[in-house]
């Protein structure tokens, strides 16, 4: 369960009962949303709030005791609040987690000295001090919002997504299964730049995977279990038994290696080594991993799977890696997104296993079973792409939102028609800055949370297409 540290701001010459009631209102809002809170109590500080440096030190010590549990900090200002107390607490705690600043609105008719908040003004002072201290922070949608309002409820859900992305991308370990295909310069990346951002890549040669498969008997418990899981996962009518067993062994070996090396997500070499020298496509195995929130990308696209994982962390639902692939007639705001495909089952209206039509023309149909074929269901979607900018030594990217539509489409693989406002401007942005043709997608509107996490807290340069 997600946990927030809570700093209740207070300033002595403002009504103390507002700090007391404001603390209770914020803790109730957090609990109602299904999260936990860590905050000083009224027995620890005056009203359980922070004003003096001694109170800031006490709150910071409490946060440090719960360092491993706290995903983010919420600063609530039920009255003006002490600007230094808030900043000092965060500096002394030194948690390095996202911070949300909320201020409670005044009520017209209740602005006498007994009930006046001035949080509207105090929020500016708190933010000014956080800026001076070099502490990054996020803001609510409206300048002032009551903790029990629908507006704050939505902002709290957004902030929780930001916190999940930040925590999930820091210290992330990615499995690189196989070498980058020679024909795909587009998936080049800098492992060192990712490492500097806290993202580690654990490689394994494809020969090691195939060697472990060769040593695995047909009756190995892991292979038998994976074969049963594949048959439960997707219809396999018409698919021969031999490639199904190969897929099961591939999945079992990859599962074991990922557990041994403590990697959370993966990117897999496919084109066309596995087809030529093993006799299947890895699509279903990868689809199952993504469906289980262990995102897996094609062609060893490490940066592509970072985008998948960021969207998945924000939404809590599976992500896919797609190609920006085709125009859709003459509509400038529509395009066809496609892969051949390893999309998670979550993306499809209906899905079945089949052979991979593109590679089959090169290596033969019998060597290409395992692809997931179907139409992407309609609904809102978010997209993201990150890349290492090797000339500048940084990570940059773009995010945005659109929708998958029910427009007619006759094709193969996994495909959908997407509508994105001002799509032509986005495509120009992608081409002018040399981004890849791969893009991560998720069936939830979470682009803003990913952009906030990546740009404000991870220090990446991320454009949000809106």
Q: pLDDT per residue over 274-323, tens digit each?
A: 999 999 999 999 999 999 999 999 999 999 999 999 999 999 999 999 99
Cα separation, 216 vs 210, whole angstroms:
10
Pair (268, 209) in one structural domain: yes
Q: Total domain count for the chain?
A: 2
pLDDT at 196: 97
Q: Tokens 């985008």 correspond to what residue?
A: 307
Contact (CB, 8 A) for 402 and 328? no
Pair (165, 233) in one structural domain: no
Domain at 146, CATH number: 3.40.50.10940
- Is residue 111 pLDDT above 80, yes or no? no
Q: What is the pLDDT of residues 13-25, one digit of tens each?
A: 677 789 999 999 9
pLDDT band at 5 (very low <50, low <70, confident <90, very high): very high
pLDDT at 397: 98
Span of 33-47, 112-126, 183-197, 449-463 with lowest mean pLDDT: 112-126
Q: What is the pLDDT of residues 242-283, one digit of tens each?
A: 999 999 999 999 999 999 999 999 999 988 899 999 999 999
Pair (133, 262) in one structural domain: no
Pair (201, 321) in one structural domain: yes
Cα separation, 44 vs 441, whole angstroms:
46
User: Residues 339, 341, 343, CA angle at the centre, nearest 5°?
Assistant: 95
Backbone angles phi, psi at 403, to 5 degrees: -155, 145
Domain at 279, CATH number: 3.40.275.10
> Is the alpha carbon torsion for 168, 172, 178, 182 positive or negative?
positive
Pair (125, 210) in one structural domain: no
Pair (435, 351) in one structural domain: yes
Q: What is the pLDDT of residues 434-459, one digit of tens each?
A: 999 999 999 999 999 999 999 999 99
Pair (314, 379) in one structural domain: yes
Residue 130 Cα distances to 104, 210, 284, 287, 370, angstroms: 19, 53, 48, 43, 53
Residue 341, preceding peptide bond in cis (omega within 30° of 0): yes
- Is residue 110 pLDDT above 80, yes or no? no
What beta strand segments (E) does 49-126 contain?
70-77, 99-103
Cα separation, 175 vs 226, whole angstroms:
20
pLDDT band at 97 (very low <50, low <70, confident <90, very high): very high
pLDDT at 143: 98
In b/e form, how buried is each residue of 330-354, taking b as 16+ CB within 10 angstroms? eeeebbbbbbbbbbbbbbbeebebb
Largest separation between any pair of C-alpha atoms in the chain: 82
Half-sphere exposure of 259 (CA within 13 A, CB side): 7
Pair (108, 177) in one structural domain: no
Pair (164, 177) in one structural domain: no
Pair (163, 178) in one structural domain: no
Pair (307, 320) in one structural domain: yes
Q: What is the domain range of residue 294? A: 173-465
pLDDT at 144: 98
Q: What is the pLDDT of residues 152-199, one digit of tens each?
A: 999 999 999 999 999 999 999 999 999 999 889 999 999 999 999 999
- Is residue 112 pLDDT above 90, yes or no? no
pLDDT band at 324 (very low <50, low <70, confident <90, very high): very high
Question: What are the residues whose beta carbons fall under 8 Å from the beta carbon of 215, sequence distance 6 or more?
Answer: none
Last residue of a domain, one of 169, 189, 204: 169
Mean pLDDT score, 336-345:
96
- Is residue 401 pLDDT above 80, yes or no? yes
Mean pLDDT score, 213-221:
98
Name the nearest CA neighbour of 386 among 200, 201, 194: 194
Pair (161, 220) in one structural domain: no
Name the nearest CA neighbour of 173 among 306, 354, 304, 324: 306
- Is residue 348 pLDDT above 90, yes or no? yes
pLDDT band at 12 (very low <50, low <70, confident <90, very high): confident
pLDDT at 114: 75
Residue 52 Cα distances to 81, 157, 419, angstroms: 11, 31, 53
Half-sphere exposure of 454 (CA within 13 A, CB side): 30
Question: To the nearest whole number, what is the mean pLDDT of the chain?
Answer: 96
pLDDT at 85: 95
Contact (CB, 8 A) for 209 and 270? no
Last residue of a domain, one of 144, 169, 194: 169
Last residue of a domain, one of 151, 169, 187: 169
């Amino acid at each position: 369960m997600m946990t927030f540290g809570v700093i209740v701001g207070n300033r002595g010459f403002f009504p103390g009962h507002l700090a007391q009631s404001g603390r209770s209102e914020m803790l109730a809002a957090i609990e109602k949303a299904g999260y936990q809170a860590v905050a000083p109590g009224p027995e620890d500080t005056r009203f359980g709030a922070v004003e003096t440096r001694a109170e800031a030190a006490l709150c910071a010590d409490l946060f440090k005791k719960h360092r491993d549990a706290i995903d983010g900090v919420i600063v609530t200002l039920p009255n003006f609040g002490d600007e230094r107390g808030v900043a000092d607490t965060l500096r002394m705690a030194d948690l390095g987690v996202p911070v949300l600043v909320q201020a409670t609105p005044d009520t017209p008719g209740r602005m006498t000295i007994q009930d006046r908040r001035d949080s509207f003004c105090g929020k500016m002072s708190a933010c000014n001090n956080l800026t001076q201290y070099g502490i990054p922070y996020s803001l609510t949608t409206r300048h002032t919002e009551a903790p029990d309002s629908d507006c704050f409820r939505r902002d709290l859900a957004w902030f929780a997504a930001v916190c999940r992305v930040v925590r999930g991308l820091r210290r992330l370990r990615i499995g690189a299964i196989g070498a980058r295909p020679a024909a795909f310069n587009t998936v080049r990346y800098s492992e060192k730049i990712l490492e500097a951002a806290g993202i580690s890549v654990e490689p394994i040669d494809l020969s090691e995977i195939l060697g472990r498969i060769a040593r695995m008997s047909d009756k190995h418990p892991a292979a038998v279990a994976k074969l049963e899981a594949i048959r439960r996962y997707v219809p396999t009518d018409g698919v021969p038994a031999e490639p199904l067993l190969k897929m099961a062994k591939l999945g079992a070996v990859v599962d074991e290696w990922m557990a041994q090396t403590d990697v959370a997500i993966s990117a897999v070499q496919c084109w066309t080594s596995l087809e030529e020298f093993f006799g299947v496509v890895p699509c279903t195995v990868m689809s199952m991993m993504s469906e289980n929130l262990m995102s897996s990308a094609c062609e060893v696209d490490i940066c592509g799977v970072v985008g998948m994982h960021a969207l998945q962390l924000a939404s809590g639902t599976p992500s896919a890696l797609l190609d920006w692939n085709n125009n859709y007639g003459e509509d400038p705001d529509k395009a066809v997104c496609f892969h051949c495909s390893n999309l998670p089952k979550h993306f499809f209206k209906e899905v079945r296993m089949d052979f991979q039509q593109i590679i089959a023309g090169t290596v033969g149909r019998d060597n290409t079973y395992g692809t997931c074929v179907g139409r992407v269901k309609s609904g809102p979607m978010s997209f993201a792409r990150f890349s290492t900018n090797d000339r500048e030594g940084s990570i940059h990217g773009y995010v945005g939102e659109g929708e998958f539509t029910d427009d007619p489409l006759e094709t193969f693989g996994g495909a959908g028609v997407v509508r994105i406002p001002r799509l032509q401007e986005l495509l120009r942005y992608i081409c002018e800055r040399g981004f890849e043709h791969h893009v991560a997608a998720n069936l939830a509107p979470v682009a803003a949370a990913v952009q906030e996490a990546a740009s404000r807290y991870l220090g990446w340069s991320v454009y949000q297409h809106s």
